[in-house]
Chain A
Amino acid sequence: MNRFLVDGTNLILQLALDAAAERQRVSAHNLANVNTPNFKRQEVSFEEKLKAALFAQPKLQLTRTHEKHLPRELELSDLQHEVVTDKSTSMRPDDNNVDIDREMVLMAMNQMHFNAVTQVLNNRYSALRYILQEGRR
């Protein structure tokens, strides 16, 4: 992988964007089913997994250039968000557990999170562009 353009931070930001997009889809799914009896809401788990993966990263990283090299415990690039179904609650007599207010708040939060991550990525890329352009003079 090209270390110059895709470093660890960019990779994490990319994964975070993926997770936020999936979270948006799950919000859409939950709100589309607000009137479906027996429906149980879904959610995306990503931040906990990322935290675990970051803590599991060894201080000294060795690059694998051969398939028979020992693998690291957890490759950051293998990290994936996970969709889980929340079966523990019930909001209504028909066993639907979509709380429309909470769902809307979560969606608004997710949207701001997505915008924030996009902003950070943009800042990184504009710094990169600045370096490239100024070095040319």
Chain B
Amino acid sequence: MKMFQAMQVSASGLTAERLRLDLIASNIANAHTTRTETGEPYRRKTAVFAAVLAEAGQAGEGVRVTAIRTDPTEPRLEYDPTHPDANEEGYVAYPNINVVQEMVDLVTAVRSYEANVTVLNAGKNMFLKALEIGRG
């Protein structure tokens, strides 16, 4: 049914944006994590979005997160010889996270999430209106 499909499409958008929010939260929480399981500093994570398209002439089926990418940019080096993770020269490798950029991403993710909620509610109202047909 088209109306429920519209809601599922919105739900896919909500899931994708929610995942993006989770990754941003993880990035900000780990902005100073110098040690992970691999022994390296934490690396910034981003979600790769891809549209789910039906065959030509058909409405698409929403969005899907195809991968969680690890940002390959080099860690930021800071001089702090007292830090336990400092290298021989006294430099500590901090994660490649720019908090300002994360905050901007956070705002776009939240706004996109809200947009999807609005669409979901619009679809719901349309469905309820359709139930009134013939009720008089």
Contacts and interface: CB of A to CB of B under 8 A. Distances in A.
Contact of B118 (A82, A104, A121, A129): A104
A122 interface: yes
A97 interface: no
B108 A35 contact: yes
Nearest to A17: B130
A33 B134 contact: no
A118 B60 contact: no
Contacts of A25: 2-3, 5-6, 9, 59, 123
A42 interface: yes
Interface residues of A, number: 37
Given A29-B59, A31-B116, A129-B136, A20 B126 contact: yes
A111 interface: yes
Contact of B13 (A21, A22, A28): A28
B33 interface: no
Interface of B: 2-3, 5-7, 9-10, 12-13, 16-17, 20, 49-51, 57-63, 108-109, 112, 115-116, 118-120, 122-123, 125-126, 129-130, 132-136
Contact of A32 (B2, B3, B108, B116): B116
A28 B10 contact: yes
Secondary structure dominating the interface of B? helix
Contacts of A44: 59
25 contacts: A18-B2, A21-B6, A24-B123, A25-B5, A28-B62, A28-B116, A28-B123, A29-B60, A29-B61, A31-B10, A32-B63, A33-B60, A33-B62, A34-B112, A34-B115, A35-B17, A35-B20, A35-B49, A36-B49, A39-B51, A100-B115, A104-B115, A107-B118, A115-B126, A129-B136
A71 interface: no
